[in-house]
Amino acid sequence: MRTRNAFTLIELLVVIAIIGCLVSLMMPTIAAVRQKADTLKCVSNLRQIGESLLLYANDHDQRMPVIEPWPSQPVYASSDGAQTILQALGPYGVTTSALQCPADLKGPNYYAKEGSSYQWFPMANGQSTQAIKTVFMNNQSQTMTMSRLFLAFDYSAVHNKGSNVLFGDGHVASGN
């Protein structure tokens, strides 16, 4: 009696088909995990920017820096002293890698154009971290606390059709 030491072609094709089916079932999960990892990295970057802002404010009479929201198309005159996020917060620990959202780099890539994947909210320029600010929106006055004031956010909605937002009190929220 003779024993067989090899697979037949049919057995090999069946194994390959099963592996192919398993991989096709896992692909959406792998993509979702990668997207979640990009979002978490972005949240971590915004938290680092928030920590650096607190250090900056500590050294500048509890005031936020004046940061240019669109460095490629400045809205402030050079005499206003507006800086990029890196110029203002670099001495306080913000690095170029902290200004790079992985989802932005794969998509619209505002980092290449603006020097940051995160846009600064100009209403925060020069604001006191201790003050409650009254703002006027849609012809109504609203009280704005630091926990409600946007400081920085993704230039575009790159996280599952949503953005990550850094608030004045240092917390970061993800949303659609």
pLDDT in tens, the chain (176 residues): 666 677 788 888 999 999 999 888 888 888 888 888 888 899 999 999 999 999 999 999 999 999 999 999 999 988 888 999 999 999 999 999 999 999 888 888 999 999 999 999 988 888 887 765 655 556 666 667 778 888 999 988 777 778 899 998 889 998 75
Q: What tokens does 141 get?
A: 């006055």
Candidates 164, 38, 40; CA nearest to 106 is 38
Q: What tokens does 107 get?
A: 């998509």
Every domain of the chain and the residues it spans: 10-175
Instruction: Return d(Cα 58, Cα 155) in angstroms, integer.
Output: 27
Instruction: Return d(Cα 138, Cα 60) in angstroms, integer.
Output: 32
Question: Who's near 111: CB < 8 A, 6+ residues apart?
Answer: 99, 100, 101, 104, 105, 117
Quick one: three-class SS letters along 46-61? HHHHHHHHHHHHHHCC
